[in-house]
Amino acid sequence: MVLSQPASYSGAAVRALELEMQADPRVVVLGEDVGRGGIFGQYKGLQQQFGAQRVIDTPISEAAIMGAGVGMALAGLRPVVEMRVVDFALCGMDEVINQAAKNRYMFGGQGRVPLVARMPNGIWDASAAQHSQSLEAWFAHMPGLVVVCPGSVQDNYSLLRAALQSGDPVVYMEHKTLWGLQGALDESVQVPLGQAACLRPGSNLTLVSWSRQLQVCASACEQLAAQGVELELIDLRTIWPWDRETVLDSCARTGHLLVVHEAIQAAGFGAEIAATVAEELGIPVRRLGGPRIPVGYAPVLEAQARVSQEQVMAAALACLQGPRARTT
């Protein structure tokens, strides 16, 4: 078998699911349109390979889909629950928050919910306010849930396999506009949940981000490097549990932190990272996220909701004007 090959973000997820379904007959898929491959091609060919009993088309009811998935998990299956986009998942929130997240704790570990809820996240081009939300902080706030935001082809393969093997409820948040992203895929690579990745070494400032915003941050790093400013770019990958050790180690070396995310800045998960680093290290920290506005349909309005390369560069330079880490 060829291990290293080019693949798409959606194709990597299909391959991950295929291997897990071959290895474990308890893995099943349920959701709208999964039989025809899903709206992004993330289940392409799986119903033809595994049958309609394991790749199950459902009615249009997110509450029913999620509730069925929780029941399947408690009964011993390992369901992949397709919510199409995170915005639609709000209709099934009670089953996620009050059932999946709490069951293991409330019943003393007698039941577990090994469920992966796929909730594509983020701004969806020209899709407006009800299809363009970034809600990872909602789920990070809830005890009992694991939250994952893969930002690359490799990670969408490796992290989906890790999520399926974890044994706990995982909110798995692929970005809505990354499905066609191309990249290298090595099927032998394992990525544990809760481990960040350093995408670019640097000495002047630690830049932490995740999901599609990494592309904007990487471009900002290139532009600043041409000016002699070297940023260390960290992909958080898993929002909860997040990799405190990697982030703190990097910040201790660079003496500055900037957290950037596509989600609205107010109460975004970047605030948790910035506060932790400030409390632990006492260094200058900044966070940068979207404005607290609905995402508009018109291109000029949609652009106002995005975090641009220029904004990232300006925030990084402003952070660097502060003092380096304190000495004790």
Which residue numbers are catalytic?
Answer: 131
Bridge partners for 233 per DSSP: 200, 207
Q: How far apart are CA 17 and CA 150, in angstroms?
A: 15
Q: Which two tokens stand for residue 320?
A: 């660097």
Cβ–Cβ under 8 Å, residues 273 and 223:
no
Q: How far apart are CA 67 and CA 99, in angstroms?
A: 8
Cβ–Cβ under 8 Å, residues 325 and 252:
yes
**String of DSSP letters for 269-318:** HHHHHHHHHHHHH---EEEEEE-SSPPPSSHHHHHHHSPPHHHHHHHHHH
- Cβ neighbors of 227 (< 8 A, separation 6 or more) are none
Q: How far apart are CA 226 and CA 311, in angstroms?
A: 17
Give the Å distances, CA to CA, from 290 to 69, 124, 125, 232: 33, 14, 15, 22
Q: How far apart are CA 211 and CA 151, in angstroms?
A: 4
Establish how many alpha carbons lie within 13 A of residue 279's alpha carbon, considering only the half-sphere containing its beta carbon. Answer: 7
Cβ–Cβ under 8 Å, residues 221 and 209:
no
Cβ–Cβ under 8 Å, residues 237 and 263:
no
Q: How far apart are CA 46 and CA 107, in angstroms?
A: 35
Q: Which two tokens stand for residue 55?
A: 């790749």
